[in-house]
Amino acid sequence: MTDGTRRIPVVTRILHANDRVAEENRRRFAQAGVCVVNLVSSPGAGKTTLLEHTLPALAPEVRAGVVVGDIATTRDAERLAVHDVPVVQITTESFGGSCHLEASTLRQALDAFDLDALDLLFVENVGNLVCPAEFDLGEHAKVALLSVTEGEDKPLKYPLAFQVADLAVVTKVDLIPHLRYDLEQMREFMERVNPRLPRVEVSTYTGEGMEAWLAWLKGRLARAREQASSPGSPRS
């Protein structure tokens, strides 16, 4: 402390405002009985493609919707809309080209949905393996995607995304024979960063691993339903 000054203690989270809106979103999801899954990855890891193959596999049993975040264009929303599910595109250009979605941006998008008519809402975050990790949206689970073409060492280089994730999805595994890619090494790096992180390895092209991914989603959906029917239970 400098001479002639005094400190007034405060102690709050800097992102308190975001956390508060995230908490509101969480309550709204619980009331509507919708499970929300936040997909995070670098650009081009295959979030939209994974959803293109996931939505038809879930219907009609699971009623799903998608919020798509991008800095610009509505291309992803157009790709997903053909699957006959409600899709809302957020372009963060108007938020200064933001690199991530915040709880309040998601809240705005929610008004465009009939949440009561949904079981599962995917949030496809802006392609970025760094910034989205810091912002709670009120989601039930974060899923971090990593494509094999990005290299084995990304979990070590961008550890936070894999630390805060509830599931890792390794994508494009059908390409491995064409790459100099060491799958074992990637697994080892991923486990070093977060040994408790469950992982599925998928190819939307061959269908490999898709069953495990769908099973994880349905398991998460069932857990969200249990939580919603017993309010006051801790978030996990």
Site residues (CB under 8 A) for other proteins?
A: 1-2, 4-18, 96, 98-100, 102, 130-131, 133-135, 156, 159-160, 163, 189, 191-193, 195-196
Q: How far is the CB of 90 from other proteins (least distance, A)?
A: 15
| Residue 182 dihedral angles phi and psi, to the nearest 5° | -105, 95
Classify each residue of 137-171 as buried b or exposed e, where b means 16 or more C-beta atoms within 10 Å of its C-beta: bbbbbbbbbbbbebbbebbeebbebbebbbbbbbb
Identify which of residues 17 and 215 has a Cβ nearer to other proteins in the complex: 17
Q: What's the CA gap between 201 and 210, in Å, rounded?
A: 8
Q: How far is the CB of 132 from other proteins (least distance, A)?
A: 8
Identify which of residues 137 and 193 has a Cβ nearer to other proteins in the complex: 193
Q: What's the CA gap between 41 and 50, in Å, rounded?
A: 12
Identify which of residues 102 and 119 has a Cβ nearer to other proteins in the complex: 102
Identify which of residues 38 and 98 has a Cβ nearer to other proteins in the complex: 98
Q: What's the CA gap between 81 and 65, in Å, rounded?
A: 10
In sign, the C-alpha dihedral spanning 37, 43, 45, 50 is positive
Q: How far is the CB of 32 from other proteins (least distance, A)?
A: 27
Q: How far is the CB of 152 from other proteins (least distance, A)?
A: 13
